[in-house]
């Protein structure tokens, strides 16, 4: 396991240093050209280790085959190469804290930051582990370059050793997962798996078969623009109307910071524009279709109510589906979930299944016909400067990948 841990550290540090942030405002696929820097590297590495059918698709995904050593279903394993656009991801300087001593972790590039077990109790469980963080000015990008490192390390082992049992395996490394565009309409057919798994989860042992359902919303407010010196009775300030919409939405009961467990939310993510026109971006989340529809209705009613106070303004609200709770499909056939749970027990872990307060490429893949639960990597505090991961947790995830592959030929 020491050799595996060292390989995972080396891969994670190297991958995280590559800027591959996605951009929700870009219409291209992938949304940023820099993601292809990661993808071309993976193509080269997969080819060098002997993977078959290595392909970089025209929609930016890398696909590859690990030939099977026995009959069984075709199993897919996925991770995404893009990092979240919510925080700076340029100039990431990963660092490895060997044999973590259980105390506070400080950051050389931002001395005001501190990562402590008191604030994050899971860290306190990792005394003696090798912890990887960024330097304080960026996120780390373990979401999901940890998943990429895990699958690449597991793949190298299987390709180097034909005695490791597995059916035919298909790997996919996708772009744009963080902006909800990771699963191109062509991916299910190109992947060609009977079922699959994303390695894009958190704590050791988590095997997730339920996610949020998700919609995205764009509210456009057009006011009346005029020189402020001559604006009496004429100016309609779009900024004021945008602020009124935000203020009217439920803030004490329906925002990410006020909800937990199975509660959904309406989350304003972006506000841009000026006095003449403003655009608000929001995400809507709930575990149930009905709850998602109710929250969308709330947003529309708030927009209509604010619009009614100023008939000279134009306020539109466009809501677009993003993904749906994978549970709706997995509950009809829990085979891949049970396979993952039994495989976790094979390597001495007790599986834990909790609803994800988020979504994965697996949400869309499951909806599109390839059942795809999500598996742990160890990543913590994602999308911010306090992101960290234990290399030993990653090693357990790589072992789970191997265990699933072995058990699949017996299922």
Q: Which residues are catalytic?
A: 82, 177
383 is in an annotated binding site: yes
53 is in an annotated binding site: no
Cβ atoms of 337 and 366 within 8 Å: the answer is no
Largest distance between two CA atoms of the chain: 81
Look at residues 233, 226, 225, 238 and name the one whose alpha carbon lies nearest to residue 303: 238
Cβ atoms of 130 and 2 within 8 Å: the answer is no
DSSP secondary structure code for residue 129 in this structure:
S
Q: How far apart are CA 81 and CA 178, in angstroms?
A: 9
Cβ atoms of 286 and 264 within 8 Å: the answer is yes
178 is in an annotated binding site: yes
| Angstrom distances, CA of residue 96 to CA of 4, 6, 99, 119, 125 | 15, 11, 9, 20, 17
CA 71 from chain centre, in angstroms, equals 32
200 is in an annotated binding site: yes
- Structure tokens given for 292: 């998602």
Cβ atoms of 35 and 81 within 8 Å: the answer is yes
267 is in an annotated binding site: no
Encode 306-325: b = buried (16+ Cβ within 10 Å), e = exposed.
Answer: bbeebeebbbebebeebbbb
8 by DSSP, 3-state: which?
A: helix
Cβ atoms of 8 and 151 within 8 Å: the answer is no
For strand 207-208 and strand 374-376, is the pairing parallel, antiparallel, or unpaired? Answer: antiparallel
Query: CB-based contacts of 277: which residues, under 8 Å, 6+ apart?
Result: 220, 221, 222, 223, 238
DSSP secondary structure code for residue 142 in this structure:
H
Cβ atoms of 189 and 371 within 8 Å: the answer is no
Query: CB-based contacts of 231: which residues, under 8 Å, 6+ apart?
Result: none
Cβ atoms of 389 and 379 within 8 Å: the answer is yes
For strand 388-390 and strand 131-133, is the pairing parallel, antiparallel, or unpaired? Answer: antiparallel
Q: List binding-site positions.
A: 80, 143, 178, 200, 383
Q: List binding-site positions for Zn(2+).
A: 80, 143, 178, 200, 383
């Amino acid at each position: 396991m020491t050799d595996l841990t060292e390989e995972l550290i080396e891969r994670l540090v190297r991958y995280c240093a590559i800027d591959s942030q996605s951009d929700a405002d870009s219409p291209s696929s992938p949304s940023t050209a820099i993601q292809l820097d990661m993808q071309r590297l993976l193509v080269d590495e997969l080819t060098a280790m002997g993977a078959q059918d290595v392909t970089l698709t025209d929609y930016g995904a890398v696909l590859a085959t690990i030939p099977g050593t026995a009959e069984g279903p075709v199993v897919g394993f996925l991770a995404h190469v893009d990092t979240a656009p919510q925080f700076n991801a340029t100039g990431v300087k990963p660092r490895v804290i060997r044999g973590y001593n259980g105390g506070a972790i400080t950051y050389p590039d931002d001395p005001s930051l501190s990562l402590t077990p008191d604030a994050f109790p899971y860290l306190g469980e990792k005394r003696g582990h090798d912890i990887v963080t960024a330097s304080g000015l960026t996120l780390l990008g373990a979401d999901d370059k940890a998943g990429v490192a895990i699958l690449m390390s597991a793949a190298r082992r299987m390709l180097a050793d034909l005695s490791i049992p597995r059916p035919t395996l298909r790997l996919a490394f996708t772009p744009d997962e963080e902006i909800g565009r990771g699963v191109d309409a062509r991916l299910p057919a190109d992947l060609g798996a009977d079922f699959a798994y994303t390695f894009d989860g958190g704590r050791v042992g988590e095997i997730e078969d339920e996610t949020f359902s998700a919609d995205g919303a764009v509210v456009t407010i057009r006011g009346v623009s005029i020189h402020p010196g001559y604006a009496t009775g004429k100016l309609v300030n779009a900024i004021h109307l945008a602020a009124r919409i935000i203020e009217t939405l439920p803030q004490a009961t329906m925002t990410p910071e006020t909800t937990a467990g199975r509660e959904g939310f309406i989350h304003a993510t972006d506000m841009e524009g000026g006095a003449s026109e403003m655009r608000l971006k929001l995400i809507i989340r709930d575990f149930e279709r009905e709850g998602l529809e109710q929250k969308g209705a709330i947003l529309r009613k708030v927009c209509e109510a604010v619009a009614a106070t100023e008939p000279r303004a134009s306020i539109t609200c466009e809501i677009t589906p993003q993904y749906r709770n994978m549970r709706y499909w997995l509950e009809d056939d829990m085979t891949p979930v049970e396979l993952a749970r039994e495989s976790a027990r094979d390597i001495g872990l007790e599986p834990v299944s909790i609803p994800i307060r988020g979504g994965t490429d697996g949400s869309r893949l499951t909806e599109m016909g390839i059942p795809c639960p999500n598996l742990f990597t160890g990543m913590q505090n994602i999308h911010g400067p306090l992101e960290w991961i234990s290399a030993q947790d990653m090693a357990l995830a790589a072992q789970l990948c191997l265990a699933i592959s072995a058990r699949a030929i017996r299922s």
